[in-house]
Structure 1
Amino acid sequence: MPMPVEELRAHLTEAFPDAEIVIDDLAGDGDHYRARIVSAAFAGLPRVRQHQLVYAALKGKMGGELHALALETSTPPAGD
């Protein structure tokens, strides 16, 4: 069963409460998303570790309810 965008957003917001999150449903099927997440939680971390934090926030649903997730992670610009 696909994951509704609201559920995906809830998981990400819970894990990254300070984040600016933009989610696009790439195929219109609730199974293929792109998420852009800007959070101070990613500061100083390599991209691989940033993505691992996102996958951990999904609590094992990646590969099950959520088939594909393209990630763009970054930190807020300095001064924000």
Structure 2
Amino acid sequence: MFRQFLRALGPVRNRLSRTVAGNGAGVPGSNFERNCVSKEEQLTEALKKSLPGTTYISVEDISGGCGAMFEVSIEAKEFIGLPRVKQHRLVTDSLKQEISEMHGIRIHTNPTPTDK
């Protein structure tokens, strides 16, 4: 009975040993991590393209590495004179396709400071 139990755990044990050896999630260079980084870059490029007056942008995966939730901080000239709700709407309209694949998103916006 115990031997059957150990035999049944064989695939799980092999999967765990591959994770520890460096082929699992969260290990630098894994497919999982490369996918998350490329998603952050994809979001950054989409925002830069739709808001060319961007002076600062930060996109961070806050889902623990699975790419389901992101935090976006952005400063752009397009936000000058707009209420925060309209600023956020510009961001969500820019990322409409990407947001449909996410679990959630946090948005922080600021207008670019004008020189006095």
Q: Same fold (TM over 0.5)?
A: yes
- Structure 1 distance, partners of 2:114, 2:75, is 12
Equivalences for residues 61-72 of structure 1 within 5 A: 61-62=98-99, 64-72=100-108
Out of 52, 64, 67, the residue aligned to residue 30 of structure 1 is 67
Q: What is the alpha-carbon root mean square deviation over aligned residues?
A: 1.9
Mapped partners of 1:9, 1:39: distance in 2? 13
Per residue, is there more helix in 1 or in 2?
2
Q: How many residues align?
A: 78
Instruction: Name the structure where strand makes up a greater proportion of residues.
Output: 1
Q: Match for residue 79 of structure 1?
A: 115
Structure 2 gaps, min length 5: 1-35
Q: Distance in 1 between matches of 2:48 and 2:68?
A: 19
In structure 1, C-alpha distance between the alignment counterparts of 2:74 and 2:88, rounded to whole Å: 10
Structure 1: which 5+ residue stretches go unaligned?
Answer: none
- When Rg is computed on C-alpha atoms for both structures, the one with the higher figure is 2
TM-score, normalising length from structure 2?
0.60
* In 2: Cα distance, 1:33 partner to 1:59 partner: 14
Where 2:96 maps in the other structure, the secondary structure is coil
Secondary structure at the residue paired with 2:115?
coil
Give the match's secondary structure for 1:13: helix
